[in-house]
Amino acid sequence: MIVIKTLEEIELIRESALIVSKTLGMLAREVKPGVTTLYLDKLAETFIRDHNGIPGFLGLYDFPNTLCMSPNAQIVHGIPNKKPLLDGDIISIDCGVLKNGFYGDHAYTFEVGNVKEETKKLLDVTKQSLYEGIKELKVGNRVGDVGFAIQDYCEKHGYGIVRELVGHGLGKKMHEDPEMPNYGKRGRGKKFVDGMVVAIEPMVNMGTHSIVQLEDGWTILTKDGKPSAHFEHNVAIINGKPVLLSTFQYINEALGIVSNEEDKFKL
């Protein structure tokens, strides 16, 4: 069942999403060779609590940490550990926050030191595919239109779209209906209406779309061991159009990235 949100509720989701955005912005300055993912996890937990939020992933389905940290061939749901990040790694950091009874949940894949050109391209294409999907999140369209846009954009570059993990509705629960696959057919699936809030999160592999899971019961990796990227935004439908509730602005400021991509999705 899709839970439709009031404008007031959407503002509360934005408040939680904003804490996530600021947390990722803080982490953008800390991600570097030699740093451990467990260290970054503790920084994030402290930062979130200092901003009157509750880490949204900690304890959810018994997940042990604040952040999902998935380097290189790990796609999502990696568990923070004491292994230092290495020059040339990429790391997907996924973060959730609960505040005022509503969740925010988004993710960014960071470069660690000097990353290969082919890997930078995977990150660029995956991030752009997120915006290609968000453009389709409007009244008159359906879930399949978002998935189609993401899949079409990424497959043109020869990349594999993960099938087993999908985006989702977002609100009082971290994972609500509808499921938002990153693949699909135009005109198929649930219709979009005003008041829907979703997390769109392409998970894109440099090689095959096939996945494997580690014995820890959490970590999802690419089957061929090639890198995978993951970007996620929280988006509401207001007046028929997509409105971003999350922002990469703090990350962009930290990394010196100039982008006007988010301007198209403001109220």
**Residue numbers of the site for Mg ion (CB under 5 A)?**
94, 105, 107, 199, 232
Q: How far is the CB of 116 from Mg ion (least distance, A)?
A: 25
For residue 76, give both structure tokens. 């999502």
Nearer to Mg ion, 96 or 227 (CB): 96
Nearer to Mg ion, 85 or 235 (CB): 235
Nearer to Mg ion, 47 or 88 (CB): 47
Q: How far is the CB of 193 from Mg ion (least distance, A)?
A: 21
d(CA 93, CA 143): 25
Q: How far is the CB of 232 from Mg ion (least distance, A)?
A: 5
Nearer to Mg ion, 9 or 232 (CB): 232
DSSP 142: B
Please count the CA atoms within 13 angstroms of the CA of 137 that sit on its side-chain side: 32
d(CA 62, CA 206): 30
Nearer to Mg ion, 21 or 117 (CB): 21
Who contacts 101 (Cβ-Cβ below 8 Å, separation ≥6)?
Answer: 12, 172
Q: How far is the CB of 153 from Mg ion (least distance, A)?
A: 19
d(CA 201, CA 231): 5
d(CA 55, CA 58): 6
Q: How far is the CB of 118 from Mg ion (least distance, A)?
A: 25
